[in-house]
Structure 1
Amino acid sequence: MARPAASLSFDIPFRAMGSACSVCVVAQDLARARALAQHAIDEVARIEAKYSRYRADSALSRINAAAGADWVAVDAETEALLDYAALQVQASGGLFDPTSGILRRVWDFKTPRVPTADELAPVLALIGWDGVEREPGRVRLARAGMELDFGGFGKEYAADRAAAALRAAGASEGYVNLGGDFHVFGPRPDGAAWTIAIQHPRNPRGTVASIQVRQGGLTTSGDYERYFELDGRRYCHILNPRTGMPVQGLQGVSVLAPSALAAGSLCTLAMLHEAQGQALLDTLGVPYLLVDAAGQLHRSDGTARSAN
């Protein structure tokens, strides 16, 4: 009697959302793995096209173009994401705000320059979830110049949806990696957990630790993704919507949660809470790995050591 071929893991790379991405699936051969991976790749492409601020025909671009004027019809998926955003704004006391993406108008992390208070003021005046008016099936931005930006959770949402697409297509083990944001949906072929390395926040070619994951979302946020240094201070792309200034206090944080969406939101909140970020994660009781401003590595199990 012929035996079925042993299952192997196959890593299928692709690019999306400005990042190097991959789909790893457990399958009997490469052809099957590629066929499965394409379902995830197509789903990521769909979400990117629908919510990218760089596409004039995207759902968000249509909403932003009508700011201060007309209502814009939205479908059930967009309404669900707006519901999620509203919950995050409320839970964070406004520290997490999807209307704060317009701060990119005054921050260019390719140029080491800090905007003046006069430059920040008119942009800060356009930030605030109170300006997002909603009715069933439609949304309106109250002030001309306002924008919605799902960049704070869009990649993580796409990772979750891509993993769901893989499972629906018949994949039972593997993971989706969107630029370092993971959704793991089953163990390795031998039943062991996947080992996911966490980048060192001060050494682009190094790792600070690794995490064993069988199921769920693992995401990382830090002050090293886009930044510049000026007069001895690091200015990173994670911006406080109240002040318009980059956060300080943590070099990086990784969180493990049931979904990439939840993990990503917790990472962002920890970074936005700066020096109090670790206390926030401890209070919430989620598994994490965190590098503080001094370069100390902290785990949710209470262990700590130098990250160097």
Structure 2
Amino acid sequence: MIETKPTLNFEDGHLCGRFSAMASPCEILFDSTDKTRIEPYFLKAIAETKRIEAKYSRYIRGNLLHRINHSLGKPVLIDDETYQLLSFANTCYDISHGMFDITSGILRQMWRFDGSDNVPSVKAVGKLLPYIGWQRVIYSESQIILPSGFELDLGGIGKEYAVNKTAQLLNESLSDISVLVNFGGDIQVTRPRQDAPFWRIGIDNPTKQNGTAVVNIAKGGLATSGDANRYLKKGTKRYSHILNPVTGFPIENAARSITVASEQCIQAGLLATLAILQGDKAEAFLKQQGLTYWCYR
């Protein structure tokens, strides 16, 4: 993705800040027209987002995640923030019965979801399966020991975490103003707006050309999981980028897109991914959780 210079402009009676981070277009909407007041906090929000990206992106050499992934089984010191993220990943692993596994990112060595028909062989994928298994990772509040050959990939929770942290920072500084943080479709709204309480959000329906559902959100999180832009297609079969860590292959009968509303964006993101992992039982899972959701097949 091309890096764009941050902008903060007036749009439809509010301020809209835009920048790029985490391979996504990012925008922050402020229910205010006071640019002088808002701009310093917009810049702080960008700095916080970039801090998280610099620390946990798998694409940055020498950062904490890079050191962990190249530790060759030796202990690596971690801070409290990283311990909390790993603990959340552990919760994801437990409640998904091992299907949400942040060590499964190593499968990207074989899978390139570029819209082509380049589906790897069972044998090629099988060579990576011994290097998947969160249960083999040892961590504490002060260190992590990753088995040699393993990798951590926080892509499944990192962007949603950044959304929540940025929204929290802005809410603490601008508690009287509604702020909407939107990083590539993962969203958090801090509080209702002053006049019209809702922000109007469009959710793409990948099964229809130009299909969009409009959602009103006053407070809380929204996140989407799906294969609208990342997939393979061979013959008539479409392969989702959501992979089964047990088989190394895409989830069978996965929904094209699932969007979930929850109190926090990071929770919504987890639940959307868990639903995708259910394959053709996604809707039953979502109904059982009592969630507000949009599911497209």
TM-score by length of 1: 0.88
- Aligned CA distance change for structure 1 residues 136 and 102 (closer, same or farther; 3 Å): same
1:227 correspondence with 2:231: yes
* SS of aligned partner of 2:128: helix
Partner residue of 2:48?
43
Partner residue of 1:275?
280
Partner residue of 2:131?
126
Contact 2:54/2:63, CA 8 A, preserved across alignment? yes
* SS of aligned partner of 1:14: strand
Partner residue of 1:303?
none
What's the offset of the Cα at 1:8?
4.4
Partner residue of 1:106?
110
Alignment partner of 2:197 out of 170, 192, 196: 192
Higher strand share: 1
How far apart in 2 are the matches of 1:235 and 1:267? 18
Alignment partner of 1:32 out of 15, 31, 37: 37
Sequence identity, in percent?
39
Residue deviations 1:249-301 (CA, integer Å, cap 9, x gap): 3111110111000000000000011111111111111111111x3xxxxxxxx
Task: Tell which deviates more after alignment, 109-118 or 9-18.
Answer: 109-118
What's the offset of the Cα at 1:174?
1.7
Q: Show the 5 A alignment for 1:260-299.
A: 260-291=265-296, 293=297
Q: Show the 5 A alignment for 1:146-185.
A: 146-171=150-175, 172-185=177-190
Task: Tell which deviates more after alignment, 176-185 or 109-118.
Answer: 109-118
How far apart in 2 are the matches of 1:98 and 1:31? 41
Q: Show the 5 A alignment for 1:56-67.
A: 56-67=61-72
How far apart in 1 are the matches of 2:38 and 2:96? 40
Residue deviations 1:147-174 (CA, integer Å, cap 9, x gap): 0111001000000000011112225312
Contact 2:163/2:187, CA 8 A, preserved across alignment? yes
What's the offset of the Cα at 1:206?
3.4
Moved over 6 A (4+): none
What's the offset of the Cα at 1:204?
6.5
Contact 2:255/2:276, CA 8 A, preserved across alignment? yes
Partner residue of 1:12?
17
Q: Which amino acid aligns with 1:228?
A: L
Q: Which amino acid aligns with 2:160?
A: E
How far apart in 2 are the matches of 1:8 and 1:32? 16
How far apart in 1 are the matches of 2:37 and 2:238? 46
Partner residue of 1:297?
none
How far apart in 2 are the matches of 1:188 and 1:238? 35
What's the offset of the Cα at 1:140?
0.7
Alignment partner of 2:60 out of 55, 63, 88: 55
What's the offset of the Cα at 1:203?
4.7
1:83 correspondence with 2:87: yes
Q: Which amino acid aligns with 1:211?
A: V
How far apart in 1 are the matches of 2:60 and 2:188? 26
How far apart in 1 are the matches of 2:209 and 2:239? 17
Partner residue of 2:121?
116
Contact 1:225/1:237, CA 8 A, preserved across alignment? no
How far apart in 2 are the matches of 1:101 and 1:59? 17
How far apart in 1 are the matches of 2:169 and 2:100? 28
How far apart in 1 are the matches of 2:178 and 2:254? 37
Residue deviations 1:25-54 (CA, integer Å, cap 9, x gap): 122322333222222211111100000001
* SS of aligned partner of 2:127: helix
Superposed CA RMSD: 1.6
What's the offset of the Cα at 1:211?
1.4
User: What are the ranges of 5 or more consecutive residues in structure 2 without an aligned counterpart?
Assistant: 1-11
How far apart in 1 are the matches of 2:69 and 2:196? 47
Q: Which amino acid aligns with 2:130?
A: A
What's the offset of the Cα at 1:225?
2.5
* SS of aligned partner of 1:249: coil
Q: Which amino acid aligns with 2:258?
A: V
Contact 1:9/1:188, CA 8 A, preserved across alignment? no
Q: Which amino acid aligns with 1:151?
A: G
Partner residue of 1:218?
222
What's the offset of the Cα at 1:136?
3.3
Residue deviations 1:30-83 (CA, integer Å, cap 9, x gap): 23332222222111111000000011122111111013x210000000000000
